Structure 1
């Protein structure tokens, strides 16, 4: 009977962007809605603020992820260019360098040299990218993917408390939006933890705690400014 291991590291890139987008969408929009509602404004003003927050937040998430991951991609490209030039100028030094990396990991010197030579015959740049620089195929920066994933999941996350705010009466809006958002955050945290192979309970509690803190603080600010106004 064959033994198959299920690894999850290949999910890290898109999972991080997706979870971050959905989490921010729920927390920021729910907090905004609750803050505006706590300031004793009209139902229409609350919905308008929520829609504005959704659009602005989605664009901000997309731009932020694109710039961040693009910077990572630029750094990786620059490192690969340096390594490619070094391979062209002194291949023997690069073989020795790669062999020393394997020796440091516990491989015997002779075997380490053989492994380095064989890997470099197959793909010299790829071998050094993985083992010297730390760039792997599963971890390659993908700016467009990260931007679209963040913007899309932010929009979905933000739309959920917004729909609740639109559907419920004004006097129940704060409590129902907060309750519904906390349930969604707990589910999101649990699902993200399960996808990453971590504890679902810890993931749910962690996300719900910070979400509730954000909503409570925003509600307090809204109440203060509502009284002042």
Structure 2
């Protein structure tokens, strides 16, 4: 349509001609490569290019995330030696010939219930197990021993309403053995074994025996001898 003729016709009718306004928008964040015009409308240029660039950026981010989650754990294990050999056991435990067994007693409230016997039960049973094993010579004077084995029966205090997800649990009685280097009095190793709970007295006693047997089995492993099959 001829805009000049339109203007003359409108003036003859006593009207004013208002030229059509054309709006373009190309903000600083939108790269303009092509302008498409529709009369009376507002056109956003380069929208397809922006969408394509956004999709490419997202795909690149996802790729990097997957790469990091697969590679980073291996790098951490390599840096901190997670797959390396365990720390050595003090050589004196395997080299020792003589042992003095020390009775460090028992916490209160464990005898005669739930366990039968006296506070020396753990000491007596461990002494008999060591004699039967025969790995060390048991001596009556600590001055003539290479190692001192200190055994104790514990009843640790703890929460009444435990939440294991927070690292807490209702404690069980425990048999604990600490191995000391007699000349230096340094603790070389410690073994702690829990005594499982029960309802009946005889089950408590059986669990006590099982805990002492498990502790001796662990001691044999530490001393360099594989425990015998039951």
Scaled by the length of structure 2, what TM-score is found? 0.27
Structure number with the higher helix fraction is 1
Task: Name which one, 1 or 2, has greater alpha-carbon Rg.
Answer: 2
Greater RCO, CA 8 A, separation 6+: 1
Scaled by the length of structure 1, what TM-score is found? 0.27
